[in-house]
Amino acid sequence: MDKKEIWKNVLSCLEAELSKPTIAAFFGHTELGSFESGVAKVLCPSHLSAEYLKTRYQKLITEVLGDLSGQSCRVSFEIKPLPPTKSQTLGPIFKTREQDGLVPSYTFENFVIGFSNQLAVSVAQVVTENPGKLHNPLFLHSSVGLGKTHLLHAIGHAIKEQDQEATVLYSPTERFTNEMVRAIQDRRSMSSFRKKFRSVDVLLVDDTQFLAGRVATQEEFFNTFNELYLAGKQIILTSDRRPSEIKQLEDRLVSRFSGGMVIDIQEPDLDMRAEILRRKAAARGANLQEETILLLAEQISGSVRQLEGVLNQLLTIAAAQNTVPSPELVNGVLASLPQPKRFISPEGILTAVCQKFNLKPEVLRSPKRTKEVVRPRQITAYLLRNLSQISLQQIGELLGGRDHSTILHSLGKIEEELTRDPFLRSQVEALRAELSPA
Ligand code: ADP
Ligand code: MG
């Protein structure tokens, strides 16, 4: 039997254990590189896929190969060698997938659209269709785990799909900084550093809040930005806050960053959380009951990353126990989560603060700005943010229609005071303990 046939047999044996979509998704681009005296090398399309298959399926594949060949086997996962380079004819080397830094699964297709991100997605699509022409730069911001990085990659993929000649480069801000520092140390490489970042059609820079306070990086970034911008190239940036809120960012960069389209992503609502769970479970070949999906979606608010984390935990436990992820199992998993990840109702927080400070909720929501009201209001905002993890906008609404920058200011104020006021710390800790007993 040749290697191709052996591998085909292995994959069809896997059907007893895994769903067809799972097999297609994870093994579709794999092949058997070699198989001699029980030692098999599986070739994978990327480093990520090799890692993933190794952690999840090494044991299973080893067993199946052992059964098929009637000998004890060892299996390793390696990256497929690249096909002979045609880069001379294709142009600059960073046109290839390996060099653009894009994660294959972060596509528009895999991105669930809901109320909280629909605006960001539609602007992203407009940019995709008209790179460099409308909305330049596009600046996406949100708190962590809400899909900025995913969306950034999705735009990169879509632009490349549309125009195979387009050069796209994804770089986290940290990488820009590190490569710049290295280039400065080795003077000769400065020009290739500049060429790398300034000769692309689309530059995707993630987490620009990390430019804060870095004078030399900001200078270099400013020049990179201008050169690309003037050449009509598309620039897309992300950050955990809007440009004007990034501390120690030069005014000229704040103004450049704000000069195109600034748009935020909010936390997913219940419907969207449920849809994300459905899609992520299906992608993993798990069949979750609707009841289970809704229970999870209701109990876990906050970021998509958190949602994914709990789902993974649930599926892993279910697989280990060889059971389906029932509502009982969900409750067990939720109970084992650290408290802050669990949902504490915003109303509960409001009531607890009002009781402690002997205030009526109406007063907390009123425009009143006396000391007796301002402090409890700030504490409420702080607890809402940390315990129920609702968005700044939602906190603002709950506190009488204040806007999100006011809330951000309150949070900053409390966080600062907490570091130097032990009495405030004890008040906040008492409330936190009351709301989420360990
Ligand atoms: P951020 O960059 O805002 O911190 P990420 O883009 O890293 O967030 O998203 C965290 C995880 O959640 C990723 O695995 C991403 O694929 C997933 N995710 C976020 N938003 C969505 C969405 N709308 N649909 C599907 N997956 C999402
Ligand atoms: Mg990110």
pLDDT in tens, 14-55: 888 777 767 776 787 789 999 999 999 999 876 666 777 888
* Helix ranges, 322-418 (H): 327-335, 346-357, 361-365, 371-383, 392-398, 404-418
Look at residue 335 and tell me whether its pLDDT is greater than 90. Answer: no
d(CA 136, ligand 1 centre) in Å: 23
Q: How far is CA 93 from CA 33, 166, 240, 325, in A?
A: 26, 12, 32, 46
Does the N-terminal peptide bond of residue 437 adopt cis geometry, omega within 30 degrees of 0? no
d(CA 148, ligand 2 centre) in Å: 5
If one counts every other C-beta atom within 10 angstroms of the C-beta of residue 386, the result is: 16
- Quick check: 106 and 149 in contact, CB under 8 A? yes
- The residue to mutate among 115, 144, 146, having the most atoms of ligand 1 within 8 angstroms of its beta carbon, is 146
- Quick check: 9 and 68 in contact, CB under 8 A? yes
CA atoms of 274 and 281, how far apart (whole Å): 11
Q: What is the pLDDT of residues 217-276, one digit of tens each?
A: 999 999 999 999 999 999 999 999 999 999 899 999 999 999 999 999 998 988 999 999
Structural tokens at position 121: 């997605």
Look at residue 94 and tell me whether its pLDDT is greater than 50. Answer: no
| Residue 226: closest CA among 253, 258, 204, 189 | 253
CA atoms of 417 and 411, how far apart (whole Å): 10
- The residue to mutate among 271, 305, 307, having the most atoms of ligand 1 within 8 angstroms of its beta carbon, is 305
Residues in the ligand 1 pocket, defined by CB under 6 Å: 110-112, 117, 142, 144-150, 276, 304-305, 308
CA atoms of 283 and 286, how far apart (whole Å): 8
d(CA 150, ligand 2 centre) in Å: 7
